[in-house]
């Protein structure tokens, strides 16, 4: 027969076992919820970074699109000038002899050819404006999609925090029961862990709010700078139309790449890339600028995405011209199992030191430097991100006032050998 004392002990053991089982299930559920909240917060941070880069692309697109107000006025001026020239030619032909008429005719022919060249320049500008409109649409769609996803993530994170807090209250009650009646030492340890979890969740919630506020501050600063940047571009377009047209072409390539590249994930397509060939293609895009190409021996092919490599080299050359000054040298070389493409400005200005800080130091410092200096370094941040995604890196070296930016990527042969060792 089972005595009364044994029945009491058995009952207490059953109650203790059930309580421990409920506690284990609760702790496991809380751990999953905490992990999910942490992952959502990290995703929100990545989305903010991508949103910031795309907002910069939109700002530059808005600036470039202002050029459309200049071309029609120039076109009307050229048409009026050609008409006046034709009237003057008809009036002169009535008073001059044949030899003089022939001389005047040649002069008017040269004038007409010059006017036709200007008309072709305006036509090319019109075509660029159509491309700008298309790229602006792609950029706007990307920006809106990121904004929508970010808001959804923030709302979901807030809801998770609220549910987790309710769950913590329930767990606290269960833990109190366990502390009082079952296993005091183990229950105290679990209770302390559960007490720290809500505090960490509140910290994550605060971080999400700070990231959102920082994004709003960046957008506000960009809007304030937009008016002065538009005026600078307008002046450059009037003083030097051909140089301005080249700048529009370079901006088109950069904006198009950033609009398609700065999503939550980068889609890479690796293949064997010839570093000399891709550097020569970038050099040809800067026709009219002092950009030279130098090759050390014959470097091996790289294992990389050709679209991303072209964007990185293009960004390095563009920054060297805009901030450092021409002439610019592209040097392709091989160092052991890596291929290097170095871009050095030979001008007297040199790239501002804030660009180095924005790209090659901590991200928090980069944000403050960009706001203080006026949109420096955004393209280089995207370029370095692409290089690191392809198992490479983007480094810099300052020599007096000049800056050397170097892209390093694995050689195709080294990448294959590394893959075989991993297998």
Is the pLDDT at 410 greater than 80, yes or no? yes
Average the pLDDT over 77-99 and give the result.
Answer: 53
Q: How far is CA 191 from CA 26, 181, 186, 221, in A?
A: 12, 14, 9, 46
Closest CA to 389 of 212, 272, 268: 268
Q: Which of 62-66, 139-143, 249-253 has maximum average pLDDT?
A: 139-143
Domains of the chain: 4-235 (no CATH), 266-422 (3.30.565.10)
Identify the helix (H) or strand (E) that includes residue 236.
helix 184-239
Is the pLDDT at 16 greater than 60, yes or no? yes
Question: What digits encode the pLDDT tens for the residues 242-287?
Answer: 655 555 555 555 555 555 544 434 567 888 999 999 999 989 888 8
Query: Is the model more confident about 29 or about 237?
Result: 29
Side-chain-side CA neighbours of residue 98 (13 Å): 0
Looking at the chain, the number of H-run helices and the number of E-run strands are 11, 7
pLDDT range class, residue 421, cuts 50, 70, 90: very low
Give me the percent of the chain exceeding a pLDDT of 90.
Answer: 9
DSSP percent split of the chain into helix, strand, coil, nearest 5 = 75, 10, 15
| Strands across the sheet containing 402-410 | 291-295, 328-335, 338-345, 402-410, 393-399
Is the pLDDT at 172 greater than 90, yes or no? no
Q: Which of 130-134, 248-252, 314-318, 351-355 has maximum average pLDDT?
A: 314-318
pLDDT range class, residue 351, cuts 50, 70, 90: low
Give the integer Cα–Cα distance in Å for 322 and 327.
11
How does the average pLDDT of the chain come out, rounded? 65
Q: How far is CA 196 from CA 159, 180, 200, in A?
A: 19, 21, 6
Give the integer Cα–Cα distance in Å for 396 and 386.
16
Residue 334: the pLDDT is: 92
Residue 363: the pLDDT is: 47
Angle among Cα 133, 135, 136 to the nearest 5 degrees reads 60
Give the integer Cα–Cα distance in Å for 272 and 264.
26
Residue that is written with structure tokens 């690796």 in the block: 270
Is the pLDDT at 221 greater than 70, yes or no? no
**Token pair of 47, please?**
């989305």
Residue 322: the pLDDT is: 77
Is the pLDDT at 393 greater than 80, yes or no? yes
Average the pLDDT over 145-174 and give the result.
Answer: 64
**Token pair of 14, please?**
């059953």
Residue 343: the pLDDT is: 93
Asked if 298 and 266 count as a contact pair (C-beta separation under 8 A), the reply is no
Q: Using CB atoms within 10 A of its CB, is residue 389 exposed (0-12), middle (13-18) or buried (19+)?
A: middle
Q: How far is CA 150 from CA 129, 209, 222, 264, in A?
A: 31, 12, 20, 11
Q: Is the dihedral angle over the CA atoms 276, 281, 285, 287 positive or is it negative?
A: positive
Beta-bridged to residue 402, according to DSSP, are 399
Q: Which of 71-85, 265-279, 352-366, 383-397 has maximum average pLDDT?
A: 383-397
Is the pLDDT at 319 greater than 70, yes or no? yes
**Token pair of 331, please?**
């040097």
Give the integer Cα–Cα distance in Å for 376 and 328.
19
Question: What digits encode the pLDDT tens for the residues 97-124?
Answer: 555 556 555 655 665 565 566 556 555 5
Query: Is the model more confident about 369 or about 325?
Result: 325
Question: What digits encode the pLDDT tens for the residues 283-315?
Answer: 988 887 889 999 988 889 998 988 889 889 988
Beta strands 291-295 and 328-335 are: parallel
């Amino acid at each position: 027969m089972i005595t009364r004392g044994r029945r009491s002990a058995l009952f207490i053991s059953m109650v203790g076992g059930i309580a421990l089982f409920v506690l284990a299930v609760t702790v496991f559920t809380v751990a999953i919820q905490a992990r999910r909240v942490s992952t959502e917060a990290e995703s929100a941070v990545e989305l903010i970074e991508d949103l910031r880069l795309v907002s910069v692309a939109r700002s530059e697109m808005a600036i470039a699109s202002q050029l459309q107000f200049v071309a029609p006025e120039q076109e009307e001026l050229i048409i009026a000038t050609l008409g006046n020239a034709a009237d003057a030619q008809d009036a002169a032909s009535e008073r001059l002899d044949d030899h003089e008429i022939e001389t005047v005719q040649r002069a008017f022919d040269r004038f007409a050819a010059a006017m036709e060249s200007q008309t072709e320049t305006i036509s090319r500008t019109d075509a660029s404006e159509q491309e700008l409109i298309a790229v602006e649409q792609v950029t706007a769609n990307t920006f809106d999609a990121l904004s929508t996803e970010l808001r959804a993530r923030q709302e979901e994170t807030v809801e998770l925090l609220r549910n987790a807090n309710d769950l913590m209250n329930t767990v606290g009650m269960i833990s109190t029961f366990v502390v009082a009646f079952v296993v005091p030492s183990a229950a105290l340890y679990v209770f302390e862990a559960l007490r720290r979890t809500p505090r960490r969740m509140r910290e994550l919630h605060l971080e999400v709010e700070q990231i959102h506020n920082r994004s709003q501050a960046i957008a506000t600063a960009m809007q304030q700078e937009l008016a002065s940047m538009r005026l600078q571009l307008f002046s450059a377009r009037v003083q030097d139309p051909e140089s301005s047209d080249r700048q529009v072409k370079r901006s088109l390539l950069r904006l198009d790449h950033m609009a398609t590249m700065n999503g939550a994930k980068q889609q890479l397509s690796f293949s064997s890339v010839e570093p000399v060939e891709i550097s020569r293609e970038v050099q040809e895009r800067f026709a009219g600028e002092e950009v030279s190409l130098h090759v050390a021996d014959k470097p091996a092919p790289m294992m990389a995405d050709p679209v991303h490599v072209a964007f990185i080299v293009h960004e390095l050359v563009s920054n060297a011209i805009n901030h450092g000054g021409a002439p610019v040298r592209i040097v392709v070389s091989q160092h052991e199992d890596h291929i290097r493409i170095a871009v050095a400005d030979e001008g007297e200005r040199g790239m501002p030191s804030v660009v180095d800080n924005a790209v090659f130091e901590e991200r928090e410092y980069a944000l403050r430097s960009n706001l203080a200096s006026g949109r420096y370094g955004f393209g280089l941040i995207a370029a370095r991100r692409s290089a690191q995604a392809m198992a490479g890196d983007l480094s810099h070296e300052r020599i007096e006032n000049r800056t050397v930016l170097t892209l390093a990527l694995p050689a195709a042969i080294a990448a294959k050998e590394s893959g075989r060792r991993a297998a």
